[in-house]
Amino acid sequence: MNELEILLSQAIDAQKKNQTQVAIEKYNFILAENQDHLFANYNLGLLLIELGKLKSGMLHIDRISAQILNQAEHTNAYAIIGARLFEYNHWEHAKFWLAQALNFRPMDERLKWMFKRAENRDYLKPEVFDPLANKTLLRYSPREADTYIYTIDIAGTCNLRCPSCPVGNTALGERGIGMMALNLFSKIMLKIAEESPSAQPQIWLFNWGEPLLHPKLADFIREIKTFGFSSHLSTNLNVTTGIAEMVKAEPSEIKISLSGFTEETYSKTHTRGSIHLLKANMYLLKHEIIKQRKTIRVWVGQHVYKHNQADIEKVKNICAELGFEHHPIQAFFQPVEKLVRLAQGQRDIKDEAVLNNLIRDPVDYINNKKAHRDDRYDCELRFNQTVINYDGEVALCCSTYEKSNTLGVAFLDHSHEDIESLKYKHEFCKTCRKHACDYSSLKPMDKT
């Protein structure tokens, strides 16, 4: 082996051992000698993309593209590059490489699915004029869902007080508390069926509230099914009734929200909750799905903080036992109004404990995004979602919480076009985007 081959072997070995910086240094040594080295550019490019450094990673991928394009023997490389870009949410870049792979693997179902998912939705206009920014913004394939979303907070309250959620970190007087009436929901569903931008929208029966607190939850699910739409729930599962009835109604999807998996770690970030009740209800939920022979996608969204990282494996194991999907995600601080104030240098002493427990400080994260984002893109929380509170009023988006950030109009009284127009004229959207707190900025819609 020559010197470059030895360095390449060492770099690959370091990468396998998660010695990231060592691997990067060795790849760079190789490229200092031969900037067109195929494997060093390929491996380093993918590694940098994984680290969130899209611009740097793509420089290396682009450097070798002339060497590998339109060659059947490199099809696997096209597929890996496309899949890696897709996995890390760089869909706009992924499409090119997925298309290259599909030229040689036209029947590959996984590649076809990723390419189709990354393509812009035909029900969305490709661009929109933002009157407050006085410029035209690009739209993209929404990350949250492959169709339009109606988020309907049927329960305007929650039984827990999680410190990273506005229900737990905002004064109770900030929002009204109540339950949506079923007849109001029926009218809302009729209007959705008439004017939804997409033919098959998703109906989310939650935002800041706990849907299982609503005594008629099963009726809401059944109402959605009469329209042929999918129904989606997110629950803390800290309830003593309603699970069997919910399963009988058969929602399309249930997300279970949890953090730690011991009483100590769970109660710190799911305040007022009981891990014992949650665990019992996870087994009860599985039991009812089997007993009633229902088909429901169940996944666990585990909010990961500094204090509960050791619990990830425990949650993974119970999910494997029950056949639930497990998706650990870094806990994030909400609502967006508080994120904006943090970006403005305003820090509430009451939030210090939870902010210090986050794996990444929100200010550091926001500042990084602000420095590197691609601000040509619109925010999908306004172009692909309508949020309706329990009283039928329309919220600005699913991340806002304060009363000033409702649109001040009832969903039933205004057309979809009118509601969208009101969103684009709302001053808080301008403020949010200015501080890079909008969804497109917080996702990898950037140039780094």
Mean pLDDT score, 22-37: 94
Residues 248 and 370 in one domain: yes
Would you say residue 302 lies in a domain?
yes
Cα–Cα nearest to 233, from 245, 273, 331: 245
Q: Are residues 113 and 156 in the same domain?
A: no
User: Looking at residue 309, what DSSP letter applies?
Assistant: G
Quick one: 25 exposed, middle or buried, by C-beta within 10 A (0-12, 13-18, 19+)? middle
What is the pLDDT confidence band of residue 79, given thresholds at 50, 70 and 90?
very high
Going by pLDDT thresholds of 50, 70 and 90, the confidence category of residue 121 is very high
The Cα 257–Cα 279 span in angstroms is 12
237-to-38, 68, 103, 211, 273 alpha-carbon distances in Å: 51, 51, 46, 10, 9
Q: Report if residue 135 sits inside a domain.
A: no
CA angle, 104 as apex, 100 and 105 as ends, to 5°? 100
Q: Which of 53-57, 159-163, 281-285, 393-397 has the lowest mean pLDDT?
A: 53-57
Name every residue whose Cβ is closer than 8 Å to that of residue 356 and which is 6 or more positions away in sequence. Answer: none
Q: Is 440 a member of any domain? A: no
Domain residues for the domain of 224 are 149-435
Q: Residue 299 forms beta bridges with which residues? A: 255, 325
Banded model confidence at residue 443, pLDDT cuts 50, 70, 90: low
Whether residues 73 and 169 fall in one domain: no
Closest CA to 250 of 270, 226, 267: 226
Residues 193 and 102 in one domain: no
Same domain, 153 and 260: yes
Mean pLDDT on 173-179: 77
**To the nearest whole number, what is the mean pLDDT of the chain?**
94
Q: Is residue 242 part of a domain?
A: yes
Place of tokens 């509170």: 389
Weakest-pLDDT range from 132-146, 201-215, 274-288: 132-146
Do the domain assignments include residue 357? yes
Render pLDDT for 368-379 as a digit per residue (tens, 0 to 9).
Answer: 888 777 888 999
- Angstrom distance (rounded) from CA 315 to CA 356: 23
Residues 388 and 252 occupy one common structural domain: yes
Judge if 276 and 329 occupy the same domain: yes
The whole-angstrom separation of Cα 134 and Cα 151 is: 28
Residue 267 and residue 308 in one domain: yes
Supply the CATH number for residue 103's domain.
1.25.40.10
Position 439 confidence tier, pLDDT thresholds 50, 70, 90: confident
Clarify whether residues 229 and 365 are in a common domain. Answer: yes
* pLDDT over 70 (residue 336): yes
What separation in angstroms does the CA of 260 have from each of 255, 291, 295? 16, 29, 28
Q: Within 13 A of 324's CA, how many CA atoms are on the CB side? A: 27
The pLDDT value recorded for residue 172 is: 65
What pLDDT shows up at residue 173? 54
Mean pLDDT computed over 310-337: 97
Whether the CB-CB separation of 398 and 387 falls below 8 Å is answered with yes
Is there a domain that residue 441 lies in? no
Question: Taking 70 as the threshold, does the pLDDT of residue 446 lie above it?
Answer: no
pLDDT reported for residue 448? 46
Question: Is 249 among the domain residues?
Answer: yes
192 and 76 in one domain?
no
pLDDT of residue 441: 61
Which of 118, 136, 162 is the last residue before a domain boundary? 118
pLDDT score at 174: 60
Domain match, 161 and 288 both: yes
444, with CB counted inside 10 A (0-12, 13-18, 19+), is: buried
pLDDT per residue as tens digits for the range 352-402: 999 999 999 999 989 888 877 788 899 999 999 999 999 999 999 999 999
| End-of-domain residue from the set 67, 95, 118 | 118
- What's the confidence (pLDDT) of residue 89? 86
Residue 71 has a pLDDT of: 83
Mean pLDDT across 142-162 = 96
Categorise residue 155: left if φ over 0, alpha if ψ from -120 to 50, beta otherwise.
beta
The reply to whether 53 falls in a domain is yes
Q: How many domains does the chain have?
A: 2
Taking the C-alpha atoms of residue 84 and residue 81, their distance in angstroms, rounded to an integer, is: 5
- Asked if pLDDT for residue 224 goes beyond 90, the answer is yes
191-201: average pLDDT? 98
Residues 254 and 377 in one domain: yes
Nearest to 279 by CA among 296, 303, 299, 263: 263
Q: Rounded to a whole number, what is the largest CA-CA distance in the chain?
A: 76
Residue 241 has what pLDDT? 96
> Of 118, 135, 169, at which residue does a domain stop?
118
Percent of the chain residues past pLDDT 70, beyond the cut: 98
Q: Flag whether pLDDT at 201 surpasses 80.
A: yes
Q: Which range is least confidently modeled, 138-152, 199-213, 277-291, 427-441?
A: 427-441
What CATH number does residue 263 fall under?
Answer: 3.20.20.70
Side-chain-side CA neighbours of residue 144 (13 Å): 21
